[in-house]
Amino acid sequence: MAVSCVCTACATRSYTPDTPSEARQLNIRNGDEIRVVTTNRERLTLRVGQVQEDRIVGVTIEPNIKEKRPPGTGVEVAYADIAMLEACNASIGCAYRPMIQRPAEAVRPEYASYDCSQLDAAILKIDTVRWVIRDDGGNLETSGHKAARYAGNFLMIPLAMGAGGGPIYMTDGGHVVLNAADQRILELLRLKRVRGCPAAATSEPGMTDLQMLEVLEPLMPATGTPDRQTCDDRTALLDRLRAPLPATPETGLPRE
């Protein structure tokens, strides 16, 4: 799934690689500055020191908002643990800010051949993307909210364009990308059920992910627009899809 990126000096793109091989194909090089979100829900910005067969080794630089590791911390990030990656070649020295776009399809064609462990890994990746959207304030909209926003956009875009620095206007609150992530999770869980895969634990007491699927399906009909309560119930459930996370390590490799 590609993710657009606005860059003041160059063109960059962010990606949510579904497999380690997809992550390797991004051609990250020594000296690049990259921003990643891991499946452990950790945000990192680092300068790449080594690109190995299965991982990237580097040192954190001045942290961006919501990043917790101090600069100068050595880290290793396995390709299998990368849920989102944004790279900007260090020689160009550009600044960027991520803008997540809608996943192209609810379920990619290759998912049909995935085994249970691969399905769980795909769910973990898109759940992490969904967490980023929610952590950045994303919410689902009802049809009434959309109508009000469209009217607001019409009035605010011309004003924002005159201010410089690109358009700044009332967004959809993350609805499109959040809804797309929710739909992908729903379809991946359905594939798990069809395959007869073992259920996974969630943060919802007494409920596995496949039990959660049974509750989600009536909340996510193929047609129609859900009301506010339905949207809120669905969001609350999916916010608890993942089992409690282990503690994030405070330090990595020794500082170089």
Distance, in Å, from the CA atom of 241 to the CA atom of 216, rounded to the nearest integer, reads 11
CATH architecture of 2-98: Roll (2.30)
Tell me the three-class secondary structure of 68-113, residue by residue.
CCCCCCEEEEEHHHEEEEEEECCCCCCCEEECCCCCCCCCCHHHHH
Q: Are 118 and 188 in contact (CB under 8 A)?
A: no
Model pLDDT for residues 104-145, shown as the tens digit of each residue: 566 778 888 999 999 999 999 999 988 988 888 888 876 554
Model-wide pTM > 0.85: no
- pLDDT reading at 3 higher than 50: no
List residues bridging with 2 in a β-sheet. 15
Rounded mean pLDDT of 58-78? 92
Name the residue with higher pLDDT: 240 or 251.
240
pLDDT number for residue 23: 63
Distance, in Å, from the CA atom of 120 to the CA atom of 106, rounded to the nearest integer, reads 15
Per-domain residue ranges for the chain? Answer: 2-98, 109-139+174-239
Rounded mean pLDDT of 206-213? 98
